[in-house]
Amino acid sequence: MMKVLLFGSNGQVGSEIYKMFSSNYEIYPFTRNSANFKNPDQIKKCINKVQPELIINAAAYTNVNKAEQNKELAEIINCHTVAVIANECKKNNIILIHFSTDYVFDGISNKPYIETDKSNPLSIYGKSKRNGELKILESGCNFLIFRTSWIYSAQENNFIRKIIDLSLQEEKLCI
């Protein structure tokens, strides 16, 4: 059975991955409490302890608005720690699946984006996620990057529930 290390296992993406794949893979789930992305050395220790064949990184600093005030923290979590993961993947021949965001683009295109389109993030969050993507590319590891948007799941804290709550509080929403 393939050994998989899953970062962000209690988030919306990570919890769904865990539910879907835990019966077919030997999954080692890590939450923000068991793998602190503010401490890249701790992440390295998790990887070396598990020695996985695959790492799925569904962990991130995702509060777009708060990232504007917490630039350094967003950069540590979304870029520096991702660089550590990617470098460990390269060093140990581990495949990396990383979840990023459509915020790496500026949103002004009149057609759907493709992976070769030039990124132009407008927010600190988008810039930190794009910087993390660049670190993965620079590492030379084997990887897949998924740029997601409008995430929702069975968890309470999701996009659809936020919109419903906001629509009950606000007369007009700009999304």
pLDDT in tens, 137-159: 999 999 999 999 877 666 666 67
| pLDDT score recorded for residue 156 | 65
* Residue of 91 and 172 predicted with greater confidence: 91
Q: Are 50 and 94 in contact (CB under 8 A)?
A: no
| pLDDT score recorded for residue 166 | 80
How large a percentage of the chain has pLDDT more than 90?
A: 65
| pLDDT score recorded for residue 153 | 65
| pLDDT score recorded for residue 62 | 87
Per-residue pLDDT tens over the stretch 48-71: 999 999 999 999 998 888 999 999
What average pLDDT does range 96-101 have in this prediction? 97
CA angle 64/66/71 to nearest 5° reads 90
Nearest C-alpha neighbor of 77 from the set 92, 59, 89: 59
Q: What is the reported pTM? A: 0.88
CA distance 23 to 114: 33
Q: pLDDT at residue 174 above 80?
A: no
Per-residue pLDDT tens over the stretch 9-38: 998 899 999 999 989 999 999 998 889 899
Per-residue pLDDT tens over the stretch 117-139: 899 999 999 999 999 999 999 99
Nearest C-alpha neighbor of 77 from the set 67, 68, 87: 67
Among candidate residues 25, 28, 61, 125, the one labeled active-site is 125
Report the mean per-residue pLDDT for the chain. Answer: 91
What average pLDDT does range 93-112 have in this prediction? 93
Task: Say which residue the tokens 């020695």 belong to.
Answer: 51
CA angle 128/145/102 to nearest 5° reads 55
Active site residue 18: no
